[in-house]
Structure 1
Amino acid sequence: MSLSLGEEQEELRLLVRTFLDDKATSHRPPPPGTGPQKYDGGLWRQLSGQLGLTGLAVPERFGGAGLGPAELGVVLEEMGRALFPSPFFATAVLAGQTVTHCGDEAAMERWLPDIVSGALTATLATAEPDGSWAADPPATVADRGRDGWVLSGTKTYVVDGHTADLLLVTARCPDGVGLFGVPATAPGLTRTVLDALDPTRPLARIRLGATPASRIGTGDASESLAAVRDLVRAALAAEQVGGAAACLDMAVGHAKTREQFGRPIGSFQAIKHKCAQLLVEVECARSAARFAGSVVGSPGTEAAIAAAVARSYCSEAFTHAAKENIQIHGGIGFTWEHRAHLYLRRAKSSELLFGTPREERARLARLTMSEGAAP
């Protein structure tokens, strides 16, 4: 199959890149100890209201464009290049795709139109205090009282959890794993910003103390959540490709202009080898991410394998590109004022988000073994 972008996908890519180049200024990192970088509300309204990016992979009947993970990946690759600080990943990918695939029409009618318009920011809270992203059953408990469901427990590493208007929380129910919607104003809800490595992607800890919640769907939600996790893996892999490509461009640009011993450092064989190796890794990562984006729309073993491969390879490719970018820049690459370290911070943060490359490879081994054992 061809992994090249189609005409409409290429137009989408150019639209997003132009928007980020024109509107998203060169973000300077916040001073040490001042917390995460805040997103621009005006830009958020533009990318959701004017460009319609938040509804890209939402069905048309809820106001979305009705496209799929492949187009979502195109947008995220460009946002990854720019390290664009916004709640797009949390709202459009984590929460938007969870609600879209929950099978609950009432929940979709309630929240998706506002997610599409940008009026509602949301996120998904699944990680437990021990750091596990796929705890089954979750440690957070859901109890049903006279007035409805209440949740008790703690979720951590929640992307944009401190600013989201809506939290989608997984919890242990009598009939399995349940998915619940918790508004930011719910009583008993406490949100704390974590001191994270990456200031461009805020993470939060969520504490729930008998917090009222709305159940999304019925019965065990494990299967639908597993499909959503593959969508998230593919989307994050696409974002990582964008970051790795930006690191390569920065490194090559610096190597062409920085002179040493009377000539550009890019003329030295050691630098040439570094850049050539990075190019190979970035292109391989792009192929893996695009293939994953093309198949995760149909849940199954192929989608799960493709998502695991993409996440594992793209995570390590991004981290390697960010490290080599700093090395090629030399002393300036290690300073707080230069943007190179922000890419390394994002690379290491994303590498651990939703499971490490080692965990993805272990999952891949289980998937391929089970596939080989099937008749």
Structure 2
Amino acid sequence: MTTQPTQPDLLYSEAEDDLRAAVRSLLTERSDTASLLVRAEAGTPYDPELWKALAGNMGAAGLLVPEKLGGQGASHREAAVVLEELGRAVTPIPYLTSSVIATTTLLDLDVESTEVATLIHQLATGAKTAVLAVPLSASPRGPLPFDAPRITGVADAPVADVFLLLRSDGLYALGRADVTVEALTPLDLTRPLSAVTTGDTAGATRLADAPVAERAVRRGLLAGAALLASEQLGVAEWCLQETVRHTRERHQFNRPIGSFQALKHRMAQLWLAVVSARAAARNAADALATDSPEAPLAASLAQAYASRVAVHAAEECVQLHAGIGMTWEHPAHLYLKRAKADEIALGTPGRHKDTLAELVGLQAP
């Protein structure tokens, strides 16, 4: 008897809608554009109190962690909803890097190990944050920085308590005092990049041997790439919503500019692209949540499509706002920079297209 494959569920559940409402309410209350712009320009975009409220008080940091390890026992679908809202507000907190990539990497190790279980519990409760010491541009099937003494392009390193480091003999956990973090100049001021220099691992905690470590790291990067599409979806949704609002209110020749046929067509086409990006992002999150064998395919498909939709939506937002869209005070530039930075994060669209071709047995263009 042949088992029929399970159809992906792209709809949001009631619990997911409730989670979205709670996260959006928190971000609306505690994060405003003016303060974000000031912090970003000063080079200190992070809000520790916001992270404490989201990760610890709300429990969002532990969504992917089973209850027996101190988490919420939810799935990648719920984590994707959180990332959608973080994308809508371009919120500078280490959720993608710590609560998704690092946490998924650790969950693929031996969770019966005291060291691994303790670290997972600390991440799940928001007591600590961790980052995988790889460039943000690293893709799930690309080269990894084994034994690299200096790793450039590591995201969210300034607020990390723990660094997960790949060596040829395994995966190590290093504390803040064991590494040197050098700030780089990023395009996206809301997700700082750093160069991380590691020293001797004699005092580090070895979490896994080499084969297990590489598999776990690639699993973490896969989860990150798949759920990054949800963040990109949030960016695109905000840009579309803000553009529609602006074109309704902005008048020219005694008419709203949104009533002009050319602008109607542009926004309608953008809406269709955003809806398609939502389907791709939800499919990727559902594939991870159900541990589908097609998760790598769904992740690459979502990244190849959603990353370009986010950039297009942000560009349209800037252009259709005209002069005001080019000002520092308007947040449109934050969304454009986040979209452009996300486009090369965890694999470029071109690399993911190559992966798609490989997975389905077609010749890449």
| 1:167 maps onto 2:158 in alignment | no
CA 1:10/1:224 → structure 2, altered by over 3 Å: closer, same or farther? Answer: same
CA 1:179/1:123 → structure 2, altered by over 3 Å: closer, same or farther? Answer: same
Shift of 1:132: 5.1
Shift of 1:90: 1.8
**Counterpart amino acid of residue 152 in structure 2:** T
CA 1:27/1:73 → structure 2, altered by over 3 Å: closer, same or farther? Answer: farther
| 1:355 maps onto 2:308 in alignment | no
Asked whether the 8 Å contact 1:240–1:315 carries over to 2, the reply is yes
What SS class does the counterpart of residue 39 from structure 1 fall into?
Answer: coil
- Rounded to whole Å, the distance in 2 between the matches of 1:244 and 1:34 is 23
- Residue in structure 2 matched with residue 149 of structure 1 by the alignment: none
Asked whether the 8 Å contact 1:281–1:317 carries over to 2, the reply is yes
- Rounded to whole Å, the distance in 2 between the matches of 1:163 and 1:20 is 19
- Residue in structure 2 matched with residue 302 of structure 1 by the alignment: 294
Query: Identity, % of aligned pairs?
Result: 38
CA 1:98/1:32 → structure 2, altered by over 3 Å: closer, same or farther? Answer: closer
- Rounded to whole Å, the distance in 2 between the matches of 1:29 and 1:7 is 31
Paired residue for 1:330, among 322, 346, 349? 322
Moved more, 201-210 or 293-302: 293-302
Over residues 251-284 of structure 1, what are the superposed CA-to-partner deviations in whole Å (9 max), with x where a residue is unaligned? 0000000011111100001110111111111110
- Residue in structure 2 matched with residue 109 of structure 1 by the alignment: 117
TM-score when scaled to structure 2? 0.91
Shift of 1:226: 2.4
In structure 2, the gaps of 5 or more residues are: 1-6
| 1:45 maps onto 2:52 in alignment | yes
TM-score when scaled to structure 1? 0.88
Shift of 1:297: 3.6
Over residues 96-130 of structure 1, what are the superposed CA-to-partner deviations in whole Å (9 max), with x where a residue is unaligned? 121122234323322122112211011111239xx
Over residues 188-221 of structure 1, what are the superposed CA-to-partner deviations in whole Å (9 max), with x where a residue is unaligned? x211111000011111110113244222122412
- Rounded to whole Å, the distance in 2 between the matches of 1:54 and 1:125 is 19
- Rounded to whole Å, the distance in 2 between the matches of 1:272 and 1:259 is 14
CA 1:23/1:35 → structure 2, altered by over 3 Å: closer, same or farther? Answer: closer
Asked whether the 8 Å contact 1:301–1:367 carries over to 2, the reply is no
Query: Quick check: which one's helix share is greater?
Result: 2
**Counterpart amino acid of residue 252 in structure 2:** Q
- Residue in structure 2 matched with residue 148 of structure 1 by the alignment: none
CA 1:344/1:190 → structure 2, altered by over 3 Å: closer, same or farther? Answer: same
Query: Quick check: which one's strand share is greater?
Result: 1
- Rounded to whole Å, the distance in 2 between the matches of 1:171 and 1:95 is 16
- Rounded to whole Å, the distance in 2 between the matches of 1:229 and 1:139 is 13
**Counterpart amino acid of residue 74 in structure 2:** L
- Rounded to whole Å, the distance in 1 between the matches of 2:43 and 2:243 is 26
Asked whether the 8 Å contact 1:319–1:344 carries over to 2, the reply is yes
Over residues 161-203 of structure 1, what are the superposed CA-to-partner deviations in whole Å (9 max), with x where a residue is unaligned? 1220001122223xxxx322111112xx211111000011111
Asked whether the 8 Å contact 2:40–2:190 carries over to 1, the reply is no
Higher RCO (CA < 8 A, seq sep 6+): 2
- Residue in structure 2 matched with residue 127 of structure 1 by the alignment: 135
Over residues 216-271 of structure 1, what are the superposed CA-to-partner deviations in whole Å (9 max), with x where a residue is unaligned? 12241222322222211111110100010000001000000001111110000111
In structure 1, the gaps of 5 or more residues are: 142-151, 371-375
- Residue in structure 2 matched with residue 242 of structure 1 by the alignment: 234
Asked whether the 8 Å contact 1:140–1:154 carries over to 2, the reply is no
CA 1:304/1:82 → structure 2, altered by over 3 Å: closer, same or farther? Answer: same
Asked whether the 8 Å contact 1:54–1:92 carries over to 2, the reply is yes
- Residue in structure 2 matched with residue 147 of structure 1 by the alignment: none
Shift of 1:28: 4.3
- Rounded to whole Å, the distance in 2 between the matches of 1:127 and 1:89 is 14
- Residue in structure 2 matched with residue 214 of structure 1 by the alignment: 205
- Rounded to whole Å, the distance in 2 between the matches of 1:82 and 1:60 is 29
- Residue in structure 2 matched with residue 155 of structure 1 by the alignment: 151
- Residue in structure 2 matched with residue 56 of structure 1 by the alignment: 63
CA 1:351/1:138 → structure 2, altered by over 3 Å: closer, same or farther? Answer: closer
